[in-house]
A and B are shown apart, each in its own frame.
Chain A
Amino acid sequence: MSALLELTNITKTYPGVIANENISLSVTKGEIVALLGENGAGKSTLVKAVFGLVRPDSGEIRIKGDLISAGDTAAAIEHGVGMVHQHFQLVPVMSVTENIILGDEPRKGIFIDKKKAREEVVALSKRYGLEVDPDAIVEDLPVGMQQRIEILKALRKDVDLLILDEPTAVLTPQEIEELLGVIKNLASAGVGVLFITHKLREVMAVADRVVVLRNGKTAGATTPKETNEEGLAQLMVGRNVVLQVDKSDAVKQGIVLSIRDLQANDDRKHTAVDGFSLDVHAGEIMGIAGVEGNGQRELVEAICGMRPRLMGSVLVDGLETPDMQPHKVHRMGISHIPEDREKHGLVASYSIEDNLVLNQFDQPPFANGWIRNSNALEQNANTLVEEFDIRTPSIKTTAGALSGGNKQKVVVARELSQNTKVVVAAQPTRGVDVGSIEFIHKQLVSARDHGAAVLLVSAELDEILSLSDRIAVMFGGKIVAILDGKDADRAKIGRMMAGLAS
């Protein structure tokens, strides 16, 4: 029998970027194929092409031997392809049942047969042992539960090929174990699985075969038996290094940033930061480890004056910072590399020059009173583009035209160039290429060496482990433990992140 999925020479380019270049790949029945690669290696683009969400420029997609025309989601679904997306494809205001039946609703005449739909969901959840409440509204559910709905949605139509795009990014270690178990069960029941991840451990645990992508090209194909984590890492990064940051020991000085009993809500008015207290010293990097959605985002925003503090205070050098006034907090010495750089960090249609002074455009030397000083702007931009290695044709280029890594460098340059006392970096390397990651890491260490207190929040445990002098593990809006960076144990932190050990 021919392969379930057969990709031949898939190529997809975006303006200025080659996302996929001549990639070929196959999955057979009952096989788990891991697609491994770094952020930006082209994994998501490739599987979206399979599912018809991206139209490749050239190449062939065959499912069960049939040629599938580019960009035809319905055809992919018809051929038994199910996909669990990296970003949940759920309608937040609708019920679990409505979300699962969407697109193929059981009918009674011209109406939806709601009773039958509900029964179907209950049966589905029993069959795969994934328990859900069919009547719950999706936006009220925790992330792990939403993922479960995504998987059920994908499995509903007797799927032969299941694609999972980074399904573990938002899960606790326990939930990950559970998910890997589900994947194995499905494979033994004959389903082909294409599993995308950048986590080596998961690959080693479940994959039958591994295909590694790097910069849009196939960097190699192997099996877990033939290789080990180091070998995979080398294929993935293309160099004989695992991201290890060169840094000297911290020269810890006095406390600069002091967070006391901080409390804040998330957007849905549920408690997200729940009595958080932490002291960060000058000259150290304090890493916040935790599974995403445990209040990290709200913590960062509350510290930086972008989210109401319901209780507690944030002090810089003993002075209380104001609530909900981000620029005043900034003036008091807290620099902020925001998680969502497109939304908060940059104005896409502004030039790099303007973006580099976005939060100090009205301060000297960039403005003399009411008048902006274009010479100072240019000088500042030229210096920072050089110093922070921002790859751009000109300082007048709009920020929106830059690559993800260079956009982030603009934000980092602006925030770190201001000689601040505290640097709050939220997911500073998300969606950024390897070269830029290394550069940004170096800049954070250099800020520390110049005496700044750095608070690093990241969902990547490896990033936390390689950069932090101390690590605070966050769970349920609170600090579970504070560990020394040197003797932090990955497994132990993993348990703490899941709220298990103390």
Chain B
Amino acid sequence: MKYLRSWLLPAIALLVAFAVGALMMKIQGANPFIAYKSLFTSAFGSSAGIAKTLGKATPLIISGLAVTICLRAGLFNIGVQGQLLAGALASAWAGYAIKGLPTIIHLPLALLFGVFFGALTGIIAGALKAFRGVHEVITTIMLNSIVLQLGEYLAYGPFKEPGQQLARTPEVLNSAKIPQIFGMPLGFFLGVALAVIAWWVFKTTTSGFRMETVGRNKSAAWYAGISVKRSILISMFVGGALAGLGGAIETLGVVGRYEPAFNGGIGFDGITIALLGRANPLAVIPGSILFGGMRGAGASMQFTAGVSPDIIDLILAIVLFLVTAPLIGKMIKSIRDTEQITTGGWGN
């Protein structure tokens, strides 16, 4: 019963959001059936479509995990976007500037660069929270903008591809590119593995228990000898590292370089995915595949039905609203959620 409940709520939320989206399309004079049909056939209707969907899902899984892990520890990391950009930027640099290494060294090194700079961005917010009591929501948002500006500066300046009109870094070397297996993006499997690992860590390890205890009751954690500060630092570090990895995978596997137009929206989708999955690491996987499909096929919807892909932003916002607000639970008593997601409040 409880199992069913945890699926039913997001499912209803999605249905309602699609219905509202259809209404919006109608208002714009488009045909929602054609739009949705083309959305789903192009996302899931062919093996090429599925491969593309999984490719789009990969950074979403990882950024969703970055939010999920912090939520478990009582932190609302809405700065995944900035951490992702930092990772993308660093891995792109490592990918083109470090030369003469074999793939087996170069690729992991470039990924590590992404992980490290993502973690660095995350832990700035973590340290401000742990030592100065500054709420992570504001600092991570500010860091998003700072990293964005920094990336723009580097792409226009020191990291700019020589002789190029556009602001972008040179392409990463082949030795740092993520290969594909049977047409499937390798990064996707890494993302799934990470989700499973995260789930296992929270389920069975003492580290997971520590983080979660801090997330649920800081006073009790302190009484039980768990360092709240350390837990905040660790979770923001891990969250940032994961986001950085997501940025690196996207850069080394898909984009091939850093451009200021790099899709930072991945970070915000990660928030929605994490909340949709009620902070369960495993639930991040299906959520990401769905969202990845919609993101990947948005363009085809515009082509066939003339609907702006921005509709997906709106649908996702409605999903988030319905999942977090106890609206559906109010209307359908039997699926009322007893456990609300909380962020551990303000200013502490």
**Stretch of A166-174, A197-205, A310-318, A338-346 contacting B (4+ beta carbons < 8 Å):** A338-346
Residues of the B chain whose Cβ atoms lie less than 8 Å from the Cβ of A346: 217, 220
**Stretch of A188-196, A211-219, A324-332 contacting B (4+ beta carbons < 8 Å):** A324-332
Asked if B222 lies at the interface with its beta carbon under 8 angstroms from chain A, I say yes
Asked if A372 lies at the interface with its beta carbon under 8 angstroms from chain B, I say yes
Residues of the B chain whose Cβ atoms lie less than 8 Å from the Cβ of A343: 217, 219-220
Please judge, given known A-B contacts A348-B217, A349-B216, whether A367 and B206 are in contact too, CB under 8 Å.
Answer: yes
Assess whether A328 is in contact with B225, with CB atoms less than 8 Å apart.
yes
Residues of the B chain whose Cβ atoms lie less than 8 Å from the Cβ of A350: 213, 216
Q: Which residue of A lies closest to B342 (CB)?
A: A349
Assess whether B217 is in contact with A326, with CB atoms less than 8 Å apart.
no
Asked if A124 lies at the interface with its beta carbon under 8 angstroms from chain B, I say no
Assess whether A370 is in contact with B207, with CB atoms less than 8 Å apart.
yes
For the complex, give the distance between the alpha carbons of A326 and B210 in Å: 15
Asked if B209 lies at the interface with its beta carbon under 8 angstroms from chain A, I say yes
Asked if B3 lies at the interface with its beta carbon under 8 angstroms from chain A, I say no
For the complex, give the distance between the alpha carbons of A345 and B219 in Å: 9
Asked if A362 lies at the interface with its beta carbon under 8 angstroms from chain B, I say yes
Q: Which residue of A lies closest to B200 (CB)?
A: A371
Which one, A330, A372, A374, contacts B206 given CB within 8 A? Answer: A372
- A-B CB pair tally, cutoff 8 Å: 63
Residues of the A chain whose Cβ atoms lie less than 8 Å from the Cβ of B339: 349
Which residues A334-392 have CB closer than 8 A to chain B?
336, 338, 340, 343-350, 354, 358-359, 361-362, 367, 370-372, 374
Asked if B334 lies at the interface with its beta carbon under 8 angstroms from chain A, I say no
Assess whether A344 is in contact with B219, with CB atoms less than 8 Å apart.
yes
Asked if B346 lies at the interface with its beta carbon under 8 angstroms from chain A, I say no
- Of A340, A346, A362, the most chain B CB neighbours within 10 A belong to A362
Residues of the B chain whose Cβ atoms lie less than 8 Å from the Cβ of A330: 225
Asked if A306 lies at the interface with its beta carbon under 8 angstroms from chain B, I say yes
How many residues belonging to B are interface residues under a CB distance threshold of 8 Å? 18
For the complex, give the distance between the alpha carbons of A362 and B213 in Å: 13
Q: Which residue of B lies closest to A350 (CB)?
A: B216
Asked if B204 lies at the interface with its beta carbon under 8 angstroms from chain A, I say yes
- Of A326, A327, A340, A358, the most chain B CB neighbours within 10 A belong to A358
Residues of the A chain whose Cβ atoms lie less than 8 Å from the Cβ of B131: none
Asked if B223 lies at the interface with its beta carbon under 8 angstroms from chain A, I say yes
Q: Which residue of B lies closest to A373 (CB)?
A: B204
Assess whether A347 is in contact with B225, with CB atoms less than 8 Å apart.
no
For the complex, give the distance between the alpha carbons of A328 and B206 in Å: 17
Asked if B164 lies at the interface with its beta carbon under 8 angstroms from chain A, I say no
For the complex, give the distance between the alpha carbons of A374 and B206 in Å: 12
Asked if B224 lies at the interface with its beta carbon under 8 angstroms from chain A, I say yes
For the complex, give the distance between the alpha carbons of A326 and B205 in Å: 22
Q: Which residue of B lies closest to A355 (CB)?
A: B220
For the complex, give the distance between the alpha carbons of A354 and B202 in Å: 13
Residues of the A chain whose Cβ atoms lie less than 8 Å from the Cβ of B221: 347
Residues of the B chain whose Cβ atoms lie less than 8 Å from the Cβ of A306: 222-223
For the complex, give the distance between the alpha carbons of A370 and B210 in Å: 11
Assess whether B223 is in contact with A338, with CB atoms less than 8 Å apart.
yes
Which residues B285-329 have CB closer than 8 A to chain A?
none
For the complex, give the distance between the alpha carbons of A367 and B213 in Å: 16
Query: Closest Cβ of chain A: how far from B339's Cβ, in Å?
Result: 7
Which residues B189-222 have CB closer than 8 A to chain A?
204-207, 209-210, 213, 216-217, 219-222
Assess whether A371 is in contact with B204, with CB atoms less than 8 Å apart.
yes
For the complex, give the distance between the alpha carbons of A415 and B225 in Å: 14
Assess whether B223 is in contact with A326, with CB atoms less than 8 Å apart.
yes
Which one, B204, B216, B220, contacts A372 given CB within 8 A? Answer: B204
Which one, B210, B216, B223, B226, contacts A345 given CB within 8 A? Answer: B223
Residues of the B chain whose Cβ atoms lie less than 8 Å from the Cβ of A347: 213, 216-217, 220-221
For the complex, give the distance between the alpha carbons of A289 and B205 in Å: 43
For the complex, give the distance between the alpha carbons of A349 and B221 in Å: 13
Assess whether B205 is in contact with A370, with CB atoms less than 8 Å apart.
yes
Residues of the A chain whose Cβ atoms lie less than 8 Å from the Cβ of B204: 371-372, 374
Assess whether A370 is in contact with B223, with CB atoms less than 8 Å apart.
no
Assess whether B225 is in contact with A326, with CB atoms less than 8 Å apart.
yes
For the complex, give the distance between the alpha carbons of A169 and B195 in Å: 53
Assess whether A361 is in contact with B205, with CB atoms less than 8 Å apart.
no
For the complex, give the distance between the alpha carbons of A362 and B220 in Å: 15
- Of A328, A344, A348, A354, the most chain B CB neighbours within 10 A belong to A344
For the complex, give the distance between the alpha carbons of A350 and B194 in Å: 25
For the complex, give the distance between the alpha carbons of A443 and B146 in Å: 59
- Would you give 11 A-B contacts (Cβ < 8 Å), ordered by A? A306-B222, A306-B223, A326-B223, A326-B224, A327-B226, A344-B222, A347-B216, A358-B213, A361-B209, A370-B207, A372-B209
Q: Told that A347-B216, A349-B339, A359-B224 touch, could you supply 14 new A-B pairs with CB distance under 8 A?
A: A326-B223, A326-B225, A327-B225, A338-B223, A344-B219, A345-B220, A347-B221, A358-B224, A359-B225, A361-B206, A370-B205, A371-B204, A372-B204, A372-B205
Where the two chains meet, the residues of B that have a C-beta atom closer than 8 Å to any C-beta of A are 204-207, 209-210, 213, 216-217, 219-226, 339
